[in-house]
Structure 1
Amino acid sequence: MQSFFRLLKIYWVIARFRLDTFLIGARLPWYVRVIVALLPWRIFFRAKGSSESRLRLALIALGPVFIKFGQTLSTRRDLLPPDLAIELAQLQDRVPPFSGVKARALIESQLGATVDELFAEFDPEPLASASVAQVHPARLKDGKSVVVKVIRPGIERVIRQDVGLLYVMARMVQNLWSEGKRLRPVEVVEEYEQTIFDELDLRKEAANATQLRRNFENSSILYVPEIYWDLTRQRVMVMERISGIPVADIEALHAQGTDMEKLAERGVEIFFTQVFRDSFFHADMHPGNIFVSRENPSEPQYIAVDFGIVGSLSAEDQSYLARNILAFFQRDYRLVAQLHIDSGWVPANTNVHAFETAIRSVCEPIFEKPLKDISFGMVLLGLFQTARRFNMVVQPQLILLQKTLLNIEGLGRQLYPDLDLWKTGKPFLENWMRERMGVKAMLKNIKQQAPDWIEKLPQLPQLVFDSLQQSRQSHEQKLQRIQHEQSLKQKQAQRTRRMMLLASSLGLLAVSTDPAINQWAQQMPWFGWAAAAAAWLLIWRA
């Protein structure tokens, strides 16, 4: 019955916000077009505003799970029209909180002690409330200020129910709409399902935060709050409380005299450091998750929170991505195309010339703008969309990277409109490439591999002996096989010669007893006999 009433609500929201307008002009089967044309709500509800804004409002009306899905969908700019992606990116997790009594009960059941035993102070009024969890301020017994993140009670059941409905709708879109297979809605729902269920385990978020804190320990550009592991469980996480200015509060940043140019450039530096130095990046860096320290405004420091979504690149992806970006800004489109093929992002049998031409047609118009106006995020998006036409395999880590870059870029331009990402990013990429390809990188690899080599060194003589023994046995087996094959060939040749000799002898005997042939033979000249004998010898020899 709950699923039935949920479907009724979805039906009502679709009607109220006239989401059927998305189907206008779509190539649908005739029976679906008839059903859409006869929908009763077309009489009672009028479509107000753009279809993109109505979809955003509809997702808000459907609740937190659909809001989160819209946020995830907004990151897939490789699949969505630009206007729709921008509209969905405005979705915010402003969800009504659940009661502090429920929060206390969940904390006590997870940590095995009462709230009064665990904390000196605990505020039942949440600081913030999102679709999956909410945060309460508290104070530890030693006086440290912390925040307690608590997963919403019963949210897992709601998520499973709504994700099931999303799968139903995704399959309908994929099967009934001609563009459905290209948009791959089922794949998007699968990606969303994995993301949101990962967020239900706060131990994963705590581990991500700890890794990022370790990567930026004593850093002047990024601060990551401390996680209190002894007070962290699957449904509860306790983290150091931070005090900073929300990065979107431009007026407050100006009021304290923040160096906005340096703040914007440091955001770009953090991104490149996470991606290329650490290969571990915060993949949910929207303005709601980023603050700026109130200390030392002339040397501004970012503070990050909410580590539920992180991304990682392999060493190969890092290298190919850096070389792609450098080649793009050098307008070496042949290298860009070849790198996509070498990395396995597009099939090996791709026509390099055709791919290069397609990339050039997308990228050349971008260079009509000044470098400071070129969007890194849109460059990557253009490359991925072009590569998709050549059967590029979707790389989830690259989608997260693209989303993060768009967030960082938009934020940086909001803080400092004249931000030149290329000016900030190029030296970092070039230094990274030199370090990766140079003598220092070779020495670093030797240093990393040396313990393994030393460990295996005592085994080396035995390994060499075993290898030689195997090689010798293999060689002997090969010789025996060759000798056996030669023996068989010789026996076969001997049998063949005997058969030929027998056949020719019987043939001569038959010929010599025939009177007509004897008379003809007496009249044949000597050179005829010589030719016949030579022919017979050749045949016998063969």
Structure 2
Amino acid sequence: MRLVPRLGRILIVASRHGLFDLVDDARGGRSLRWLRRLLPGPSAAVASQPRGARLALALTQLGPIFVKFGQILSTRRDLLPADIADELTALQDRVAPFPGAVARAAVERELRKPVATLFAAFDETPLASASIAQVHAATLPDGRAVVVKVLRPDIAPRIARDVALLRALADVAARHHPNADKIRPHEVVDEIETTLVNELDLQREGANASLLRRNFAGSDDLKVPEVHWSHSTAGVLTLERVSGIPVDDLAALDAAGIDRRRLAAKGVELFYTQVFRDNFFHADAHAGNIWVDTTRREDPRFIALDFGIMGTLPEADQYWLAENFIALFNQDYRRIAELHVRAGWMPASVRLDELESAVRAVCEPYFTRPLSEISLAEVTVKLFQTARRYQLVLQPQLILLQKTLLNIEGVGRLLDPSIDIWATAKPVLERIWRRRHGPRALLARLRRRVPEWLAAAPDMPTLTHRLLEQATEGRLELRLASDDLKRLAGTARSDRRSAGWRMLGAALVVAAALLWTSAPDTARAGDVPWPAWLALLGATGAFFAALRSTDT
């Protein structure tokens, strides 16, 4: 019942922004038409805007959690139309700040010391305020400038309430939306909840920042602020204060004399380095989270901020993705089709020639353009959309990577509209991949495994002898555990049971026939001859034998 007022407000906001149009085609869309007559409709100014803009406005009006929901949903370009995804990507996570005194109290509660002891100075006026937390400037006792990120008060229960409401809406969508099996609304809500819960743990964000900083220690490409662990907990995060120019402020970059062409190329290189060298990438790399270091004009570098959403890939997916990119760079469409199937992203029953033809149909129009005009991110998105017709199964980490690639390309083209993404990306990926899978990398992996092999070596003779002994005596058993095998075994048992019942039925028919043909009068009188009893007994025995065979 606590969700009813919130649901009512959502319906009113949705009606005022003309969002019922988005569900007209769903099975439940017509049933909502009566609700439109009861709720206020959109103004002429709102109605004239595109659907994506109306949805973004509605989410902004519903509050910070729904803004965050829209931002996360914008990563699911495999589910959303491009116009809606673009509008949601532009959502700004800016909300009214909470009082500085509340932030001070939260810091003292989390760190268990007075702010005056922890910091030489603490500014209660926030530098920035977002849906999950806000940031305050401070100075450590040794004079170092820092920023202190503090969670909003009572944010966890608010997120829990709104996620519960999203689950209720997902139930409705699962029942009524014609493409519910492809949209998978419950999985989308699970993904949103996981992201939000992770962002509530600032210690996790600090660990992300710490690892990224270690990966780029001494780098000329990326600066990551230092984490001050002595002043950080799950509810408070203290970071080195950095200064720079937001990457989308082109006028300020030009005024500072920054080489934007070099900076754009570095952005593309950084993406492939994070994904394929470190397998740990900043997955929220929009312009608000990327600054430029103004102290380096000739050889500029980026400054990364906000580490709540980071991406990793399973080693297998990382391998298949890199091979796909290389095949795409080389326009090897057959290789792309084979890789999609071998990676397990698509069923083995897919015809490779049909998939190769579909990939060629997507890619060839792009290769007629100058390479500087080709968007690798756009090609990748269209490839995934095409492959969905062939039952492509994408994991969330791949979708997050796809969104990050779109962001990075967007930043690169903003800085340098003439950048050749392909010429920049291809040598970087090939160089990283040679290092990852070349002879030296293979020897390094072997060296890491040698201690494990040496530890297991003393047991190998005993295990080998035991295995040979079992094989010689006929006691060697092969046990397979697989869902497919279990289903196959279940089908076989069902077939055997069915055969048993059919056998019993046939035997009973034969027995009845014997009764009536041998002595119909005595059978009707209840005096059954012994051959018929034998037939009936044999049928029963055959039935139980068939049942018993189902357990073997």
TM range (shorter): 0.7 to 0.9
Which letter does structure 2 place at the counterpart of 1:386? T
Query: More displaced, 284-293 or 44-53?
Result: 44-53
- Is the counterpart of residue 467 in structure 1 residue 458 in structure 2? no
- Partners of 1:20 and 1:36 within 8 A in 2: no
SS of the equivalent of 1:41 reads: coil
> Which residue is equivalent to 2:5?
5
> Which residue is equivalent to 2:378?
378
Shift of 1:407: 0.6
- Partners of 1:245 and 1:291 within 8 A in 2: yes
Alpha carbons of structure 1 residues 476 and 224: separation in structure 2 relative to 1, 3 Å: same
> Which residue is equivalent to 2:428?
428
- Is the counterpart of residue 416 in structure 1 residue 416 in structure 2? yes
Question: Deviation digits for residues 87-133 of structure 1, max 9, x if unmatched?
Answer: 11110111100000110111111100111111000000000000100
> Which residue is equivalent to 1:59?
59
SS of the equivalent of 1:385 reads: helix
> Which residue is equivalent to 1:203?
203
> Which residue is equivalent to 2:315?
315
Q: Distance in 1 between matches of 2:29 and 2:282?
A: 46
- Partners of 2:136 and 2:148 within 8 A in 1: yes
SS of the equivalent of 1:418 reads: coil
Q: Distance in 2 between matches of 1:142 and 1:411?
A: 37
Alpha carbons of structure 1 residues 469 and 42: separation in structure 2 relative to 1, 3 Å: closer
Shift of 1:34: 4.8
> Which residue is equivalent to 1:524?
none
Q: Provide TM-score, normalisation by structure 1.
A: 0.84
Counterparts of 1:107-506 in structure 2, within 5 Å, are 107-457=107-457, 459=458, 462-477=459-474
Q: Distance in 2 between matches of 1:112 and 1:71?
A: 34
- Partners of 2:17 and 2:42 within 8 A in 1: no
Aligned residues: 475
Q: Distance in 2 between matches of 1:81 and 1:73?
A: 11
Shift of 1:432: 2.5
> Sequence identity, in percent?
48
Which letter does structure 2 place at the counterpart of 1:468? H
Counterparts of 1:17-36 in structure 2, within 5 Å, are 17-24=17-24, 26-29=25-28, 32=31, 34-35=33-34
- Is the counterpart of residue 15 in structure 1 residue 12 in structure 2? no
Q: Distance in 2 between matches of 1:469 and 1:53?
A: 69
Query: More displaced, 14-23 or 144-153?
Result: 14-23
Alpha carbons of structure 1 residues 31 and 242: separation in structure 2 relative to 1, 3 Å: closer
Q: Distance in 1 between matches of 2:62 and 2:309?
A: 23
Shift of 1:29: 4.9
SS of the equivalent of 1:147 reads: strand
Shift of 1:43: 9.2
Shift of 1:9: 1.9
Query: More displaced, 152-161 or 433-442?
Result: 433-442
Alpha carbons of structure 1 residues 437 and 233: separation in structure 2 relative to 1, 3 Å: closer
Q: Provide TM-score, normalisation by structure 2.
A: 0.83
Question: Deviation digits for residues 45-71 of structure 1, max 9, x if unmatched?
Answer: 772322221111000000000000101
Shift of 1:186: 2.2
- Partners of 1:363 and 1:379 within 8 A in 2: yes
Q: Distance in 1 between matches of 2:409 and 2:423?
A: 13
Query: More displaced, 214-223 or 384-393?
Result: 384-393
SS of the equivalent of 1:389 reads: helix
Alpha carbons of structure 1 residues 353 and 467: separation in structure 2 relative to 1, 3 Å: same
Shift of 1:199: 0.3
SS of the equivalent of 2:47 reads: coil
Question: Deviation digits for residues 171-198 of structure 1, max 9, x if unmatched?
Answer: 2223222133332222211111100011
Shift of 1:349: 2.1
Question: Deviation digits for residues 11-55 of structure 1, max 9, x if unmatched?
Answer: 22112212112234x143585165356454349877232222111
Shift of 1:351: 1.8
Which letter does structure 1 place at the counterpart of 2:98? F
- Partners of 1:248 and 1:287 within 8 A in 2: yes
> Which residue is equivalent to 2:76?
76
Structure 1 or 2, whichever has the larger Rg, is 1
> Which residue is equivalent to 1:41?
40
SS of the equivalent of 1:266 reads: helix
Query: More displaced, 384-393 or 210-219?
Result: 384-393
Alpha carbons of structure 1 residues 114 and 454: separation in structure 2 relative to 1, 3 Å: same
SS of the equivalent of 2:258 reads: coil
Shift of 1:221: 0.5
- Partners of 1:272 and 1:425 within 8 A in 2: yes
Alpha carbons of structure 1 residues 29 and 155: separation in structure 2 relative to 1, 3 Å: closer
Long gaps (5+) in structure 2: 477-552
Q: Distance in 2 between matches of 1:223 and 1:402?
A: 24
Please give the root-mean-square deviation of Cα atoms over the aligned residues, in Å.
Answer: 1.9
Long gaps (5+) in structure 1: 480-542
Q: Distance in 2 between matches of 1:30 and 1:421?
A: 43
Q: Distance in 2 between matches of 1:464 and 1:154?
A: 61
Which letter does structure 1 place at the counterpart of 2:413? R
Q: Distance in 2 between matches of 1:175 and 1:232?
A: 45
Q: Distance in 1 between matches of 2:293 and 2:21?
A: 46
Shift of 1:466: 3.8
Question: Deviation digits for residues 487-528 of structure 1, max 9, x if unmatched?
Answer: xxxxxxxxxxxxxxxxxxxxxxxxxxxxxxxxxxxxxxxxxx
